[in-house]
Amino acid sequence: MPLNLPDKLPAIELLKEENIFVIDNSRANAQDIRPLKIVILNLMPLKITTETDLVRLLSNTPLQLEISFMKLKSHTSKNTPVEHMKAFYRDFDLMRNETYDGMIVTGAPVEQMPYEEVTYWNEITTIFDWARTHVTSTLYICWAAQAGLYHFYGVPKYPLDKKMFGIFEHHINVQGLPIFRGFDDVFFVPHSRHTEVRREDILKVKDLTLLSESDDSGVYMAMARNGREFFITGHSEYSPYTLDTEYKRDLGKGLPIEMPKNYYREDNADNAPLVRWRGHANLLFSNWLNYYVYQETPFDITQIR
Per domain, the residue ranges of the chain are 33-158+171-240+277-297
Helix (H) or strand (E) holding 210: strand 208-214
pLDDT (0 to 100) of residue 79: 62
Q: At what angle do helices 143-153 and 121-134 cross, to 10 degrees?
A: 80
pLDDT (0 to 100) of residue 9: 35
Nearest CA to 299 among 67, 25, 32, 101?
32
CATH C-level class of 33-158+171-240+277-297: alpha beta
Cβ-defined contacts of 296-303 (< 8 Å, 24+): 296/136, 296/137, 296/227, 296/228, 297/36, 297/101, 297/136, 298/136, 299/30, 299/31, 299/32, 301/37, 301/99, 301/100, 301/101, 301/136, 302/99
Burial class (CB in 10 A: 0-12, 13-18, 19+), 142: buried
Q: Annotated binding site for substrate: which residue ranges?
A: 163, 192, 249
pLDDT < 70 regions, the chain? 1-33, 75-81, 296-305
pLDDT (0 to 100) of residue 149: 98
- Name the catalytic one among 134, 170, 191, 235: 235
**Do 149 and 231 contact (CB within 8 A), yes or no?**
yes
The C-alpha atoms of residue 217 and residue 199 are separated, in whole angstroms, by: 11
pLDDT (0 to 100) of residue 263: 98
**Does residue 142 carry a catalytic annotation?**
yes
- Name the catalytic one among 111, 213, 229, 237: 237
pLDDT (0 to 100) of residue 159: 96
pLDDT (0 to 100) of residue 295: 76
- Name the catalytic one among 142, 170, 191, 280: 142
pLDDT (0 to 100) of residue 305: 53
pLDDT (0 to 100) of residue 1: 35
The C-alpha atoms of residue 36 and residue 187 are separated, in whole angstroms, by: 28
**Does residue 171 carry a catalytic annotation?**
no
**Does residue 196 carry a catalytic annotation?**
no
Quick: pLDDT tens for 39-55.
999 998 777 788 888 88
What pTM was computed for the model?
A: 0.85
pLDDT (0 to 100) of residue 298: 53
Beta bridge partners of 137: 102
